[in-house]
Chain A
């Protein structure tokens, strides 16, 4: 055990930058004020990865926006595709084909598994467990292979889930291949579940977020579920086919980094379960609405406004879209889960921790700088 340290002498405060161009932080910076080795205060410094998606989307057609929506979060582009497509679908009043709904859910859940694997990888790196990082990125590539087969690109699906359905049907034997990859995913889950001294020593009792504070600071998704709240948009406001699927929402009460890490593992198990169920019931038929089958430059979005929310692997994400009947939306507002996780929650959690625990707390929030800066 580490002995309680003596307090640093007065006047020894200094500034310390964590990020923004550092492998331990992603493209995001935190200005820390330290006294000895203890963080006195933390100030998030966003903007390093800002690309202005909301403005860009005002000048593009829905199909071009679907391609752009990949870039909202590099680690889970398909989930962002889905939210954007749902917003446009709702404005256009399209009832998408049944097969497309199933494919959408299968792809979104595979994307969630992939994102959680990365989370495990970077969190392992944050707590000094390098093997976990390498394992995670090795196993992630099996899912990348699936994406390559189905969407035609490894990381970016290029608007695979587009307004009206999905851009391509599954190629032959995809079902078999997905089941094979899911078996491999069970393997990495088993590895993640092993008793691990690094995780026990570095993650237990670190960065405790109480439920009251989690609600006050606006946490969603795995972060608030790790603090003991039973909430999931897939259960509360089911979209696509989630109301027909049988799955559980994992919850832990501790609220520390270790609890959030376990939420990730449990959610991967549930996602595997969901993909298997959806694959079993996958119906035949069209994969895209007939009016949008051939891309058109003149398809107008009817006048109106809509707010769509989804559960992505990081929490609750939403898109608010206003259209005045033109080809491009009049305004698109993106609500990413990480904006609140990376600014108020992170600043709150970093207060009073040791400097060595900063990466552990930081990565335990399942963050994505790309989604936060947008």
Chain B
């Protein structure tokens, strides 16, 4: 039996593991990560560029619900995260920085209606 393996074995016994214990700790996510969208309706000018550049057609310009119709009369982006490929082109093209991608990566859900982000969350549409 070769004994050349022994130093390596001892080294491995006392070295840190390559993985982390995920739910308790996780590797830090960098600031410019392309995760869930953050949409600010106050900054939005309803130009519709985000809907036009989206390669997966995940963004659709829609009316807001009746109760907000007076305040926001134009069309605003509805983002379908199920179709989104998180390329960040909507963030880049937005002239007013209304859409930004955040660090949130925990997007798995059991409720399929959660994946659609409406411009304004109301009781009718979350």
Contacts and interface: CB of A to CB of B under 8 A. Distances in A.
Nearest to A134: B18
B53 interface: yes
A158 B85 contact: yes
A93 interface: no
Nearest to B93: A295
Nearest to A191: B8
Nearest to A60: B55
Contacts of A297: 49, 52-53, 93
A295 B34 contact: no
A152 B31 CA distance: 8
B92 A167 contact: yes
A312 to B, nearest CB: 21
Given A60-B55, A138-B18, A297-B52, A67 B34 contact: no
B72 interface: no
Contact of A153 (B18, B34, B93): B34
A159 B87 contact: yes
B88 to A, nearest CB: 6
Contact of A67 (B49, B55, B93, B101): B55
Nearest to A153: B34
Interface in A287-321: 294-295, 297
Nearest to A146: B30
Contacts, number: 55
A64 B55 contact: yes
Q: Dominant SS at the B interface?
A: loop
A63 interface: yes
B6 interface: no
Interface string B76-103: 0000000001111100110000000100
B55 A152 contact: no
A67 B86 CA distance: 10
Contact of B34 (A63, A68, A158): A158
B68 interface: no
Given A138-B18, A297-B49, A297-B53, A152 B30 contact: yes
Contacts of B92: 167, 294-295
Give the bracket for the number of chain A residues in contact with chain B. Answer: 20 to 34
B86 A295 contact: no
Contacts of A258: none
A61 B55 CA distance: 9
A149 interface: yes
Most buried by A among B27, B34, B55, B85: B55
B81 to A, nearest CB: 15
B29 A67 contact: no
Contacts of B27: 145
B87 to A, nearest CB: 4
A295 B27 CA distance: 32
A156 B33 CA distance: 12
A145 B31 CA distance: 13
Interface in A97-148: 138, 141, 145, 148
A61 B54 CA distance: 10
Kindly name the residue among B18, B31, B89 whose own CB sees the greatest number of chain A CB atoms within 10 A: B89
A168 B80 CA distance: 25
Contacts of A63: 53, 89
A148 B49 contact: no
B93 A294 contact: yes
Contact of B33 (A67, A152, A167, A294): A152
Given A63-B89, A152-B32, A295-B89, 11 more contacts: A64-B89, A138-B18, A145-B27, A149-B30, A152-B34, A156-B86, A158-B89, A167-B88, A168-B32, A171-B30, A297-B53
26 contacts: A60-B55, A63-B89, A67-B55, A67-B85, A67-B87, A68-B55, A138-B18, A148-B29, A148-B33, A152-B30, A152-B33, A152-B34, A152-B88, A152-B101, A153-B86, A158-B34, A158-B85, A158-B87, A158-B88, A158-B89, A159-B87, A294-B93, A295-B92, A297-B49, A297-B52, A297-B53
CB-CB nearest 8 A-B residue pairs: A158-B87, A64-B55, A152-B34, A67-B87, A149-B30, A295-B93, A138-B18, A67-B55
Interface of A: 60-61, 63-64, 67-68, 138, 141, 145, 148-149, 152-153, 156, 158-159, 167-168, 171, 294-295, 297
